[in-house]
Chain A
């Protein structure tokens, strides 16, 4: 069984959001992942982020591929449509769904096997198309459901539970996304909810493809001494580049009232919400793609993991802007507007003579 129903217990004093919903209304089925799995922490952060953003659950669509990470779409927002696609192919399904109905909030959950091996092509092309989707990559460097094979994100020298060392170089989704022109690139850690929730919120509001690579340790197969995707290693080696303050519309502080200081970058999102980034690393610029790439790469050489919202460009055109699709979602256009009708066909026939 991949999900267990939760008992419908409600605490009367639970805090409500603007829709009058409590966090319980954003939860899903009981997780069947291993106790302590990083993915469950990500799920909790997603519940928090959606609740804080006042997203009506039925207006969100959750999509995933196959694997431990992809199971988690069942563990939050049970009032949202969910789609567990085939292995590595969530981006295509999300792209098609978004093409049909652009007004839903799309969240895609994937893992390192799903995104960086079997689904690498789709991952890249969803970025190129700038599909309006928050893409959460729960990255643990290992195949869990098939019991411990290295994934494409495993670092050279990182050891399996049995002691075997990985010999192939890793694919880093953050660097890859930057080279492909991604407009929102972040890295976080499942063990750092304070950092993760504001990034998720900013990513959900980003108009276009948002990637959040989340180091999310596998407690069963990849949380040991010699692993570079363990809780301990990640805590010891992560360095926060930027800290995100997400300023939603209703509590918006205008740019006039609070000027950005030397250590702050404000980015106005498509819907006029503001993401304020406090630069923890003074020399880091999250709006300069090439500099961000070089910085992250240099840190990797020193075995440091750069986290935070690493790159943002809110001016990019998403798939529909490029396509020049009408403002209404395609699914809402009445048939009469779609079918040219008999007169049009009759006159068209003259062209075939």
Chain B
């Protein structure tokens, strides 16, 4: 099979041995050759020693989802040989370190096995165990450059950029890469049938991870207080905020900071700090993952009831409990929607990629202040920690923060008596900030309160505030981002998805349509669901709901919130912890469609009745 700019390969190494820099070098080189590329880091919860993989997909069509099969696997970790050799597609290639005899685990019919003596070459060329190990993990990049036709001049200039001030490192890295490159050129028929060829498809694009995008979004949105507790996979989000705040928010003359970043003692405290800062008038946020969300639930309930703005980013990882900290999932959807005890409901935004992380992060601060409530930005490990190809981020300088209904000193001077929790329209009350005006003072509490912010145990007074809160969240449903809808003329079949599934579902949709299955697509972007979500469900006879958790949480939310019968929504679930691949979506939807067809035949219904004649191409 000859395919130019359309293949995938992965590298299996041991965590902590320096392969990360080789992998990002490879990906960046392909990107700079103008070819669409994406990388998925599959890494362990470990500092050194456990297996790690890096998957790179090259797609001239611009598909960025995790690949369904591997054309080439670089197997440098004996512990995972069996798994790695099995991952090669029939007719594909395996690259191994031939310093040692071929391990039995690596033998397989129907694939081509290529050996490069990386270890031996590096022992001869470098001094010291650490350097030899590290350089072995750079050398494979050279072999791949030869096999896949990566521009070596480009690699050289990238190394120059990276090690501009570290001459010795530059020399040794380039030497290692050359070792791998020259060996492959001399011993193999380079390039392989699948390889790279320069394109011009990336000049308007960047490589960006969602955590950096969220951190950057917080800086641009004017957030001044960040409070957090380190947790995988959200840690790099606050580190990004710190990096950009240090760059853009430090007074040049005094060295003083226009932000306050607090590493809290736990997620409970982090959430409390966000609410304290929001109450005092700052744009404040935290980033966490599922275990942190569980701890924050107490304060989030307070934020909902006492009506305090704050942005909470959940970079989801595999649950329940500690789960698999370095694997991805969408397992927090239900808990976030109604987090905390009592009647609560929260505004949540679901970016599908790092680009959207940036913009939705800004919008989250606006919504938090307009609705005086915690707002969640829900991403996942795949979006948060992997580099995605995104369009260059743009900023509109006419943007002004939506601070919501905040009464200033002039307005307060006019007010006869300020009622903090009275409806001023759409269920939204007016708020005041401490220190502004004596007439603005009120008592913030999580206990029962009246529209005047006084304590109450009276049923009617309690219900007045609770009913207004319900109205407020109903108003929010119309203010959160609309779903992205891609409709075909008259398709009776719908596919619904959310967040990081988008890339794979979008690709799957193209394949399904190519196979003659007409389907409309809706990607959820906000909660509470706006009217168009219910309308989409109503317009389609059957909907597949694609999500990454075991219990079909999005499907449950859709059933609860829109009243749609669960029968009508068929779950497509992928919850093993790896980013979603389009192949799985296609095969699962095809399989379910066949089942439906069989059922309808068995029950005497007309063939294809469920899917409205959209069954062409499916048996």
Contacts and interface: CB of A to CB of B under 8 A. Distances in A.
B434 A81 contact: yes
A97 B444 CA distance: 13
B444 A338 contact: no
Contact of B248 (A129, A342, A344): A344
Contact of A81 (B258, B261, B282, B442): B442
Given A92-B272, A93-B275, A79 B441 contact: yes
Given A3-B455, A330-B225, A339-B222, A101 B280 contact: yes
B503 to A, nearest CB: 18
Interface centre among B261, B276, B435, B454 (most CB of A within 10 A): B276
A97 B268 contact: no
A96 B441 contact: no
Nearest to A334: B222
B220 to A, nearest CB: 5
B277 A80 contact: no
B224 A333 contact: yes
21 contacts: A1-B455, A2-B447, A82-B441, A89-B298, A93-B273, A93-B275, A93-B279, A95-B269, A95-B272, A96-B276, A96-B277, A97-B276, A97-B280, A101-B280, A122-B272, A124-B265, A129-B262, A340-B219, A342-B394, A342-B397, A345-B393
A353 B206 contact: yes
Contacts of A99: 225, 227, 260, 262, 273, 276-277, 282, 284
Contact of B395 (A320, A325, A341): A341
A104 B435 contact: yes
B585 interface: no
By size class, the interface of chain B is 35 or more
A92 B268 contact: yes
A353 B32 contact: yes
B279 A89 contact: no
A97 B436 CA distance: 14
Contacts of A330: 224-225, 258-260, 282
A331 interface: yes
Interface string B216-256: 10011110110100000000000000001000110100111
Interface centre among B392, B436, B443 (most CB of A within 10 A): B443
Contacts of B282: 99-101, 330-331
Interface in B426-456: 432-438, 440-447, 454-455
B301 to A, nearest CB: 8
B444 A101 contact: no
A68 interface: no
By size class, the interface of chain A is 35 or more
Interface string A81-115: 11111100101111111111101100000000000
B284 A338 contact: no
Contact of A83 (B206, B260, B279, B299): B279
B126 to A, nearest CB: 31
A97 B394 CA distance: 32
A68 B446 CA distance: 15
Given A86-B302, A122-B269, A97 B434 contact: yes
A192 B401 CA distance: 50
B165 interface: no
B61 interface: no
A352 B222 contact: no
Secondary structure at the A interface, as helix, strand, loop or mixed, is helix
A353 B31 contact: yes
Nearest to B436: A58
B435 A101 contact: yes
B281 interface: yes
B340 to A, nearest CB: 10
A349 interface: yes
A144 interface: no
A220 to B, nearest CB: 21
A122 B264 CA distance: 9
Interface in B192-208: 206-208
A58 B260 CA distance: 24
A92 to B, nearest CB: 3
A221 B224 CA distance: 45
A349 B392 contact: yes
Contacts of B395: 339, 341-342, 345-346
Nearest to B358: A345
A323 B249 CA distance: 13
B438 A57 contact: yes
Contacts of A103: 435
Contacts of A94: 276
B187 interface: no
Contacts of B221: 339
B400 interface: yes
A338 B224 contact: yes
B478 interface: no
Given A92-B269, A331-B433, A338-B224, A100 B299 contact: no
Given A58-B437, A338-B249, A340-B248, A121 B275 contact: no
A245 B36 CA distance: 73
B258 A324 contact: no
Nearest to B443: A82
A162 to B, nearest CB: 29
Contacts of A283: none
B220 A58 contact: no
Nearest to A79: B438
B274 interface: yes
B257 interface: yes
Given A3-B455, A103-B435, A323-B257, A74 B276 contact: no
Interface string A131-145: 000000000000000
Contacts of B281: 100-101, 331
Contacts of B129: none
Contact of A61 (B244, B298, B435): B435
A104 B434 CA distance: 8
Nearest to B399: A339
A326 B254 contact: yes
Contacts of A333: 224, 258
B455 A86 contact: no
Given A57-B441, A122-B268, A341-B397, 20 more contacts: A2-B447, A81-B434, A81-B440, A83-B444, A84-B445, A86-B272, A86-B298, A86-B299, A92-B276, A99-B284, A104-B434, A325-B260, A330-B225, A331-B224, A331-B280, A331-B433, A338-B258, A340-B219, A342-B397, A353-B206
A59 interface: yes
A93 B310 CA distance: 12
A119 to B, nearest CB: 10
Contacts of A23: none
Please provide the 7 A-B residue pairs with the shortest distance between their CB atoms, ordered closest to farther: A96-B276, A92-B272, A100-B282, A96-B273, A81-B434, A352-B206, A93-B276
A323 B273 CA distance: 15
Contacts of A104: 280, 434-435
A269 B359 CA distance: 46
Given A80-B441, A99-B260, A104-B434, A345 B276 contact: no
Interface string A39-58: 00000000000000000111
